[in-house]
Amino acid sequence: MNKYDVIVIGGGPSGYTSAIYLGRAALSVLVLAGAQPGGQLVFTSEVENFPGFTKGIMGPDLMMAMEAQAKRFGVEVLYKEVSKVDLLKETKSVWVDETEYQANAIIVSTGATSKMIGIGEEAYVGRGVSTCAVCDAAFFKGKKTFVVGGGDAAMEDTMALLKFADEVTIVHRRDEFRASKIMQDRVLSNSKVKVMWNSEVVGVSGESKLSSIKVKDIKTGKISEQQLDGLFVAIGHVPTTKMFEGILELDEKGYLRTTMTALMRDVKWRVSEKDMWLDGFPTMTSVDGVFGCGDVVDYRYRQAITAAGMGCQAALDAEKYLTEHK
């Protein structure tokens, strides 16, 4: 029987960080990292805001280093996708195809994926296309950039770019933004910002990197070609939680709900006077012994360092849970 103390589902910064802590605690750990481990950082070029790397580090290199560190403490890593789970029993089961793996605790760190336009821009990710201005804005100092979207995420990306880029143009399908009024005011009051209303990006082109996009006016049907240095897609994220639907409680956006995130909104969820989250397990989900961390939980910050921090929290909670339930 393939039995472990903890199984970590997902191989991004949160998953590998939790594995490092659990392995160092002398627990048996299996990381099911997926067919393409490393999370969204594998699509990022240079990471300059992760502490400890004065000259920055390439996203894939950072993830390879995290994985190697986890393996140093005896963690097993399989580059396999999970096909189904049974988490409601005391002993949890996770399947990869027909092979069953069991554990006394599960950490879900499956992350989230950025919504893409679907016009081939995926081929230019890291080469002129980005889904995180907070991460990549500094690389576009003095450049001409475009942002696609009209919600708070698009406004936040625009504000981040305004610190570096010479020009930021927002392309939005409607004639008004969906973002909060305060965010709109901050963006629209800046003279460096231009807006292409009732428009959508319908094409991308470039050789070694993105050099131009085609923008269609939805009302007139006219298509114009725009030269640019960077395109930031800010139309939302999709948490990887489909396999947990009906098993673990999700919030209205589909993100995994934990005691900590629930308490930020609803103090009555999974909390009693005898079991406050400070004394319990802040990262536990609606099922005992199942914990959540990283972008599958966090729809606000979505940074490698915050994901890693949550991975640490989930690992410490899981270790405490196993100690108390021996």
**pLDDT band at residue 302 using 50, 70 and 90 as cut-offs:** confident
> What is the pLDDT, as a whole number, of residue 156?
86
Which residue shows structure tokens 């305004």?
162
Is 132 among the catalytic positions? Answer: yes
Identical topology for domains 2-113+237-324 and 116-233: yes
Per-residue pLDDT tens for 93-130? 999 999 999 999 999 999 988 889 999 999 999 899 99
Better-predicted residue by pLDDT, 177 or 253: 177
Which residue shows structure tokens 């580059």?
79
Query: 136, 157, 295, 317: which is the annotated catalytic residue?
Result: 136
> What is the pLDDT, as a whole number, of residue 46?
77
Percentage, residues of the chain above pLDDT 90: 76
> What is the pLDDT, as a whole number, of residue 273?
46
Is 293 among the catalytic positions? Answer: no
**What is d(CA 30, CA 26) in angstroms, rounded to the nearest whole number?**
13
Is 135 among the catalytic positions? Answer: yes
Given a cut of 70, is residue 263 above it in pLDDT? no
Percentages helix, strand, coil for the chain (3-state, rounded to 5) are 30, 30, 45
Per-residue pLDDT tens for 139-169? 999 999 999 999 988 998 999 999 999 999 9
Mean pLDDT (the chain) is: 91
Pairing mode, if any, of strands 230-233 and 237-239? unpaired
Sorted by where each begins, the domain ranges of the chain are 2-113+237-324, 116-233
Query: 135, 157, 293, 295: which is the annotated catalytic residue?
Result: 135
CATH topology of domain 116-233: FAD/NAD(P)-binding domain (3.50.50)
Average pLDDT over residues 265-289: 68
| Domain spanning 2-113+237-324: CATH superfamily | FAD/NAD(P)-binding domain (3.50.50.60)
**How distant, in Å, are the alpha carbons of 47, 112, 155, 227 from that of 291?**
27, 16, 32, 46
